[in-house]
């Protein structure tokens, strides 16, 4: 099996060991899709409520005949399952390669237990090799790009909007040694909706798939 499949299997085994019905949030990305397609149906009878982080995930859940709660969760979720583009040694994340990091962060903030599932290539010493996604308001785009160029000269604009209808920027060539400070600093810039650093809302558990199995890294 692939590393991504094994990471998804690890999440299933972890959730299976938890008793009772569950309020669950589902993230976005290729590894999360594997969990959703192969393992979430096996938990169907135990799902009390289900929240989706993106249009893409909602389409997949509907294809699998799941009922999805509309809007952001008003109550605390038991579990949130999602992937990441990078994970450092402190379990800080870069997310947003799929452009859904704002909604993912909203759901992660409502979860008692955030499980991040990744393949081994996503583990890094320092965040920033993967371009850092930043969601911004269209009318402030040019001003924000100017401000972000003090962090890196390589700021690119994606050719599609976020699920929220906002502009997506990517910051290339970053070395994010203090993720929480950087998250707070970037989010303080007027017109930035959300940055793809998950330091405030980092996972309690990262499951890393490898060729033959998976391993758990707890915060």
Backbone torsions φ then ψ of 101, nearest 5 degrees: -65, -30
194 is catalytic: no
Burial class (CB in 10 A: 0-12, 13-18, 19+), 193: middle
Question: For residue 211, what are its two tokens?
Answer: 């060729």
Torsional class of 91: left (φ above 0), alpha (ψ -120 to 50), beta (otherwise)? left
Which of the following is catalytic: 86, 104, 183, 194? 104
Q: What residues contact residue 79 under an 8 Å CB cut-off, 6+ apart?
A: 15, 18, 22, 23, 24, 25, 111, 112, 113, 114, 115
Catalogue the active-site residues. Answer: 104
């Amino acid at each position: 099996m692939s590393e991504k499949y094994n990471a998804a299997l690890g999440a299933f085994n972890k959730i299976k060991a938890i008793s009772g019905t569950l309020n669950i949030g589902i993230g976005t990305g290729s590894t999360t899709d594997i969990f959703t397609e192969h393992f979430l149906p096996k938990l169907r009878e135990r799902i009390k409520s289900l929240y989706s982080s993106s249009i893409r995930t909602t389409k997949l859940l509907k294809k699998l005949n799941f009922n999805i709660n509309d809007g952001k969760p008003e109550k605390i979720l038991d579990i949130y399952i999602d992937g990441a583009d990078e994970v450092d040694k402190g379990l800080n994340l870069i997310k947003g390669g799929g452009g859904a990091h704002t909604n993912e962060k909203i759901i992660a903030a409502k979860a008692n237990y955030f499980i991040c599932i990744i393949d081994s290539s996503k583990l890094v010493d320092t965040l920033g090799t993967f371009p850092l996604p930043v969601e911004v308001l269209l009318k402030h785009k040019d001003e924000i790009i100017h401000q972000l160029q003090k962090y890196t000269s390589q700021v690119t604009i994606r050719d599609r909007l976020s699920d929220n209808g906002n502009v997506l920027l990517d910051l290339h060539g970053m070395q994010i040694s203090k993720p929480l400070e950087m998250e707070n600093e970037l989010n303080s810039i007027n017109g930035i909706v959300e940055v793809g650093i998950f330091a405030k809302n980092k996972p309690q558990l990262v499951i890393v798939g490898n060729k033959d199995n998976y391993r758990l890294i707890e915060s």
